Structure 1
Amino acid sequence: MVDTPKADDVQEAMKKQIAELRREMNKINKALAARAEEVSEEASGWVSSASDSASRAAQQLRNRAQTVSEAVQENPGTVSSALVLGGVLGFVLGMLAGQASNSHDRRWY
């Protein structure tokens, strides 16, 4: 006669396996929660650092813009003269570039 496991023995073995699987899942869940917390803290540090850097950069831009604005308010004639001079130079350079390209082929029309 062959010994066959009883239904109770099989059921008991299944319960033990299920309990072991639950313990393993709990360990995995705890490990994942700890890792998620570490990653969250790390990301928070990166965001804080980036925020501080952006804030400093914005402050520097505001300071420079204010400096330029003050210079323009104190010397409006100088700024106007520089803009007009820049426009005239741009126009002259454009005319010279146009003449240089047209001198090679006068019959383009």
Structure 2
Amino acid sequence: MAEMPKSTDVQEAMKKQIGELRREMNKINRQLADRAGELSEEASGWYEGASERASRAAGQLRAGAQTVSETVQQNPGTISSALVLGGIIGFAVGFLAGQVNGDNNRRWY
């Protein structure tokens, strides 16, 4: 019959396994911390890039709006004439589209 291991031998084996598990957990924790740091730096880079692009786009929009505003201020008659002409063309297109429909006996009410 096989001998039963002594309780001290079992305790020593368990302590050894626990120590190995702790070392392995510490190693995994360090790897996770390193990876989290890398991801944080990467996300920060994405944010800075997006922020820079948004800032440039906003500046371009401001410049475009200022140009349009100056043009309208310098040529108010031209702008209002263009808007009236656009309205007339839109009305004509709508009227013609309604006539093409073919049902001339419809009532307006």
Instruction: Sort the TM-score into its range (normalised by shorter chain).
Output: over 0.9
Provide, for residues 80-101 of structure 1, a one-character-per-residue CA deviation record: whole Å limited to 9, x for no partner: 0000000011111111111111
Task: Look up the match of 1:17.
Answer: 17
Query: 1:82-93, aligned counterparts within 5 Å?
Result: 82-93=82-93
Task: Look up the match of 1:100.
Answer: 100
The CA RMSD measured in Å over matched residues stands at 1.3
DSSP-derived class of the 1:2 partner:
coil
DSSP-derived class of the 2:2 partner:
coil
Query: 1:65-80, aligned counterparts within 5 Å?
Result: 65-80=65-80
Cα separation, partners in 2 of 1:18 and 1:42, compared to 1, 3 Å: same
Runs of 4+ off more than 3 Å: 105-109
Task: Look up the match of 1:51.
Answer: 51
Deviation at 1:107, TM superposition (A): 4.3
Percent identical pairs in the alignment equals 68
Q: Distance in 2 between matches of 1:108 and 1:71?
A: 45
Amino acid at match of 1:71: T
Query: Can you give the 5+ residue segments of structure 2 that lack an aligned partner in the other structure?
Result: none
Provide, for residues 47-98 of structure 1, a one-character-per-residue CA deviation record: whole Å limited to 9, x for no partner: 1001100100110011000000010011111100000000011111111111
Q: Distance in 2 between matches of 1:93 and 1:52?
A: 44
Q: Say whether 1:8 aligns with 2:8.
A: yes
TM-score normalised by the chain length of structure 2: 0.92
Amino acid at match of 1:22: R
Amino acid at match of 1:89: I
